[in-house]
Amino acid sequence: MCGPRIAAECSYWSLVDGQGRQGRPPLAQLTGAIATSQALAEDVRKDVLDGIQVLLEQAKAPPAERKRIVFKPIIDTIANICGGAGGLFTVWQVAGPAIGAFFGIPV
């Protein structure tokens, strides 16, 4: 399940002011979908949620201080997992481009 710290940070972080379905920021949509997905094994879910926590930390840093070597592999991994996990693919189609644009990488 989505931990309170991640949920709280997702609620204020709008990720380039983009709004997704139900008025929720794209990363909050993605986090919620991953936290409740029945298509993911528990260890995979935990790893992805941990990765999202690292993305949040990177997002708080000024762009010049963000470490591409840190955030790009996480984003690529999340994209691959969502691409093969049923309902997560649809959420990734909305959240992925916004996350990629925020970090300045194609997804």
Report the C-alpha gap between 4 and 97 in whole angstroms. Answer: 25
Residue 106: strand, helix, or coil: coil
**Amino acid in position 12:** Y
Q: What residue numbers bound the domain in which 62 lies?
A: 4-103
Handedness of CA 21, 26, 32, 35 (dihedral sign): positive
Q: What is the pLDDT of residue 92?
A: 93
Q: What is the pLDDT of residue 24?
A: 60
Give this prediction's pTM.
0.77
> Splitting the chain (107 residues) into consecutive groups of 10 residues, what average pLDDT does each group show?
46 44 69 92 94 88 90 96 88 90 88
For 37-54, letters b (16+ CB in 10 Å) and e give bebbeeeebebbbebbbe
For the chain, the domain total comes to: 1
